[in-house]
Amino acid sequence: MREFQLSNARWRKSTYSGGDGGEACLEVAHGFPGIVPVRDSKVTAGPVLVVGAAAWAEFIGAVTAGRPARG
């Protein structure tokens, strides 16, 4: 398994998470060529899911269009 240095990552909370600290809080870090690190904003010291940039773009496109992403 490949490891990534994320200690200096600049995390951005999803605009869909809302500001109320609800259940659906997601953060992504930008500036990592070819990957998109994703984490739960309520558990910042917890695990990070690293997704390929192309897969992330497809996922976001599917969510935006209201259709399921290919699996």
> Does some domain include residue 20?
yes
Please report which confidence band the pLDDT of residue 7 belongs to, taking 50, 70 and 90 as the band edges.
confident
Q: What angle do CA 34, 38, 39 make, to 5 degrees?
A: 160
Residue range(s) defining the domain that contains residue 15: 11-65
Domain count, the chain: 1
Look at phi and psi of residue 66 and say left if phi exceeds 0, alpha if psi is from -120 to 50, else beta.
Answer: left
Per-residue three-class SS string for 4-52: CCCCCCCEEECHHHCCCCCCCCEEEECCCCCEEEEEECCCCCCCCEEEE
Averaged pLDDT for residues 41-65: 90
How many CA atoms lie within 13 Å of 31's alpha carbon, on the beta-carbon side? 9
Averaged pLDDT for residues 5-27: 77
Percent of the chain with pLDDT over 90: 39
Mean pLDDT of the residues in the chain: 83
Residue 18, pLDDT score: 62
> Does some domain include residue 37?
yes
Q: Which residue has the higher pLDDT, 30 or 22?
A: 30
